């Protein structure tokens, strides 16, 4: 008998007890999670201690004890502390005190297998930046080796460059001036093609091969961007949307570095002032948000890396003073050594789901690799970065038809709505640095698509060498990600043609940002094709009537409704938890709980038992008042209903049968409650594949025990 060991984070944080307790309960979805939680085993050494800021408290004293004796103590005005010494393996307690108030003692353990985290300091990074170009992605002497190893990628890049010539120059935005102009959503989608794709591709070909035509085209795009004010619609802190500015902040420093020999003195002045303005905006937005206390801001999570890159590329320029640049690198380093990544757990999971994971684990790579190449010290030495490859294998396999959970689950890199945002190769860098042979084979399989759509900065990036890398384990049929709240079970992971797969979400992360009120929801696949899946789309854009009125509701997912009500929407209160995840021979077991996610007094435990070709889900529900239960299921293919049983086909046939409590009714439809194009101008209507919905209804009772058997035939 083998068992997958599981540590579930404590989702029930300590509340305020009297006037002497520091606040320990989150009141916003943007706030940090206190860490370590009770009885947690920590796999990063030294551990980073995180707590919530409290009104009226200016300083906090962190105390750590071991065997009843003081082991570490520090006073700070921040809401976190990374000790300056390694911890011995063993058990500890920690507490935070401010004046007469305290957080309360919390027990935790440092694993003997914990990874030593010794990141570079801001001064080490600043002092080590070499005065050469290029330096962001690679040095000039790295180019022959890169070209030798990246033959297929280079051919794809050349196709990108030919596409860039065909596209020409972009038009400046006018959506802020003329209501008849191309709207914001459509404009920034096209702008990414010119900025993130065409300009970067032509700059790379110039830097790698000396192609002067490509360099000239990239330079023209670059100077045209610099001639557009970094305020207004191109700002990342303005009132017109931030996507145009985010593209500029993301790529201008690197492109300037790659094209540096082509610029005159006057052009360099324009380039550096533009980059400097974006650095100012990055810092302003992060500090305005108080990012270290409120990191749950999806777009702001990109900015620390952009801020550091602005500083590093301006290191020997003429527009920014040394004090400012050191402060920028210092702030980025503070974030990356402390609370980052908020959405990424030490288990390697990404709370925002696979679609956002594949992009959000790209943005910081140039800065991380620069810092490590220059200093010999690494930000990658956190468990998250080393374990991420396991999450990518289970939840971001490009061969899968879709990728639950969260916004964008239906998209791939070729998607016309968001081209390339689901990364062309999610495994790149992480497979090379931390992956097994299996992970590297997957990465190689997706090395050279028809052309690159968005993420080009890490394709030819020189990775740090000669660092001690502790590789993640090889791909297992079952993986649990307790920090971020995911379970993945496969009957034959490495043989997709015969693989029956189950994915589950039950997370301390709620339903805000790009996550949904779908605690204890699940998805079923066979051979990578979706049988049971989430339903709904963005519609035309984030925040559309359909997005908020359907996709961001529990009814759109495979989770229960009580008295017709779903879980808290766009709220940190919509939480679930994983109680169990284990394997006994060829049988897989999992148990989740999600009653606390509803604005009702209900307890709901969902149990999963999976074998090769069959899944049994048992739902146990208890409530003080009688509740009706709606059991929704969704699929990309139509359901066939016969009595109280149903079937759906997608390559294979899945039979769905209630074998416990019987429903009082069952019906199916292909209609959303809110149409995908509702309230959108007709010229911007979108057409997406139909989806299908099946609902089992159960009558009022204070207790329910619903057992459903899903069988592959």
Which residue from 220, 206, 211, 214 is spatially nearest to 163, judged by alpha carbons?
214
| Predicted pLDDT of residue 466 | 63
Kindly state the average pLDDT of the residues 546-565.
98
Tell me the percentage of the chain whose pLDDT exceeds 90: 92
DSSP annotation string for 222-249:
HHHHHTS-SSGGG-SSSSS-SHHHHHHH
Q: Which residues contact 495 (CB under 8 A, 6 or more apart)?
A: none
What confidence category does residue 1 fall into, taking pLDDT thresholds of 50, 70 and 90?
Answer: very low
Per-residue pLDDT at 682 exceeds 70: yes
Distance from C-alpha of 708 to C-alpha of 618, rounded to nearest angstrom: 6
CB–CB of 75/59 below 8 Å?
yes
Per-residue pLDDT at 13 exceeds 80: no
CATH superfamily of this structure's domain 7-117: Immunoglobulins (2.60.40.10)
Query: What mean pLDDT value characterizes the chain?
Result: 94
Token couple for 421: 């945002």
Per-residue pLDDT at 469 exceeds 90: no
Distance from C-alpha of 12 to C-alpha of 31, rounded to nearest angstrom: 15
Distance from C-alpha of 656 to C-alpha of 664, rounded to nearest angstrom: 16
CATH match for 126-340 among 1.10.287.3510, 3.10.290.10, 1.50.10.100, 1.10.3720.10: 1.50.10.100
What global pTM score does this model have?
0.94
pLDDT per residue as tens digits for the range 627-642: 999 999 999 999 999 9
Kindly state the average pLDDT of the residues 366-375.
96
| Predicted pLDDT of residue 470 | 61
| Predicted pLDDT of residue 446 | 87
Three-state DSSP class for residue 578:
strand
- Give ranges for CATH 2.60.40.10 in the chain: 7-117
| Predicted pLDDT of residue 417 | 86
pLDDT per residue as tens digits for the range 255-286: 999 999 999 999 999 999 999 999 999 999 99
- Give ranges for CATH 1.50.10.100 in the chain: 126-340
Kindly state the average pLDDT of the residues 300-308.
97
Which residue from 206, 203, 280 is spatially nearest to 245, judged by alpha carbons?
280
CATH match for 478-712 among 3.40.50.300, 3.30.70.1250, 2.70.98.70, 2.60.120.560: 2.70.98.70
pLDDT per residue as tens digits for the range 165-219: 999 999 999 999 999 999 999 999 999 999 999 999 999 999 999 999 999 999 9
Kindly state the average pLDDT of the residues 16-31.
81
Tell me the percentage of the chain whose pLDDT exceeds 70: 96
Which residue from 320, 180, 170 is spatially nearest to 234, judged by alpha carbons?
170
- Give ranges for CATH 2.70.98.70 in the chain: 478-712
């Amino acid at each position: 008998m083998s068992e997958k060991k599981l540590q579930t984070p404590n989702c029930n944080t300590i509340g305020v007890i009297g006037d002497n307790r520091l606040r320990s309960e989150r009141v916003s979805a943007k706030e940090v999670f206190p860490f370590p939680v009770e009885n947690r085993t920590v796999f990063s050494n030294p551990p980073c201690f995180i707590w919530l800021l409290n009104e009226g408290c200016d300083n906090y004293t962190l105390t750590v004890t071991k065997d009843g004796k003081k082991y570490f103590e520090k006073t700070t005005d921040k809401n976190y502390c990374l000790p300056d010494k390694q911890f011995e393996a063993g058990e500890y307690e920690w507490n935070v005190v401010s004046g007469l108030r305290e957080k309360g003692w919390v027990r935790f353990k440092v694993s003997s297998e914990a990874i030593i985290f010794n990141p570079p300091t801001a001064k080490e990074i600043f002092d080590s930046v070499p005065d050469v170009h290029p330096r962001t992605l690679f040095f000039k002497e790295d180019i022959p080796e890169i070209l030798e190893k990246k033959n297929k990628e280079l051919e794809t890049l050349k196709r990108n460059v030919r596409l860039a010539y065909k596209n020409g120059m972009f038009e400046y935005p006018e959506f802020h001036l003329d209501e008849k102009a191309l709207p914001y959503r459509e404009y920034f989608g096209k702008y990414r093609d010119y900025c993130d794709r065409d300009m970067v591709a032509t700059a790379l070909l110039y830097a790698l091969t000396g192609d002067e035509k490509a360099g000239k085209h990239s330079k023209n795009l670059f100077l045209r961007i610099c001639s557009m004010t970094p305020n207004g619609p191109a700002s990342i802190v303005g009132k017109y949307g931030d996507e145009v500015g985010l593209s500029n902040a993301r790529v201008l420093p690197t492109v300037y570095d790659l094209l540096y020999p082509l610029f005159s003195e006057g052009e360099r002045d324009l380039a550096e002032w533009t980059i400097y303005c974006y650095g100012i905006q990055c810092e302003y937005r992060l500090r305005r948000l108080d990012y270290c206390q409120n990191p749950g801001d999806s777009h702001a999570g990109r900015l620390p890396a952009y801020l550091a890159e602005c500083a590093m590329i301006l290191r020997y320029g003429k527009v920014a003073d040394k004090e400012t640049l050191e402060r920028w690198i210092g702030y980025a380093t503070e974030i990356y050594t402390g609370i980052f990544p908020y959405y990424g757990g030490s288990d390697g999971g990404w709370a925002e789901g696979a679609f956002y994971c594949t992009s959000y684990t790209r943005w910081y790579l140039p800065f991380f690799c620069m810092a490590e190449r220059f200093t010999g010290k690494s930000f990658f030495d956190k468990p998250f970065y080393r374990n991420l490859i396991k999450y990518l294998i289970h939840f971001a396999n490009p061969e899968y038809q879709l990728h639950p959970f969260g916004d964008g689950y239906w998209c791939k890199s070729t998607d016309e709505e968001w081209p390339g945002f689901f990364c062309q190769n999610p495994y790149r860098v992480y497979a090379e640095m931390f992956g097994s042979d299996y992970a590297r084979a997957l990465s190689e399989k997706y090395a050279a698509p028809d052309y690159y759509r968005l993420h080009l900065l890490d394709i030819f990036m020189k990775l740090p060498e000669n660092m001690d890398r502790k590789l993640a384990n090889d791909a297992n049929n079952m993986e649990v990600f307790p920090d971020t709240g995911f379970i993945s079970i496969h009957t034959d992971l490495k043989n997709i043609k015969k693989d029956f797969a189950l994915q589950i979400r039950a997370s301390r992360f709620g339903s805000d940002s790009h996550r949904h009120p779908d605690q204890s929801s699940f998805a079923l696949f066979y051979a990578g094709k979706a049988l049971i899946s989430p339903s709904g789309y963005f519609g035309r854009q984030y925040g559309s009537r359909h997005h908020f009125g359907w996709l961001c509701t529990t009814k759109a997912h495979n989770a229960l409704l009580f008295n017709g009500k779903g879980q808290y929407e766009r709220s940190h209160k919509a939480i679930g938890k994983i109680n169990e995840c284990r394997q006994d021979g060829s049988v897989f077991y999992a148990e989740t709980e999600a009653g606390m996610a509803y604005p009702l007094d209900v307890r709901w435990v969902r149990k999963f038992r999976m074998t090769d070709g069959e899944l049994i889900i048992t739902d146990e529900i208890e409530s003080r008042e009688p509740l009706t239960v709606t059991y929704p299921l969704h699929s990309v293919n139509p359901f066939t209903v016969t009595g109280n049983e149903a079937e759906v086909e997608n390559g294979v046939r899945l039979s769905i049968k209630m074998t416990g409590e019987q429903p009082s009714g069952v019906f199916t439809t292909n209609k959303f409650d809110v149409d995908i194009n509702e309230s959108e101008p007709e010229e911007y209507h979108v057409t997406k594949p139909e989806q299908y919905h099946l609902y089992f209804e159960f009558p009022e009772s204070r207790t329910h025990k619903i057992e459903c058997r899903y069988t592959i035939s």
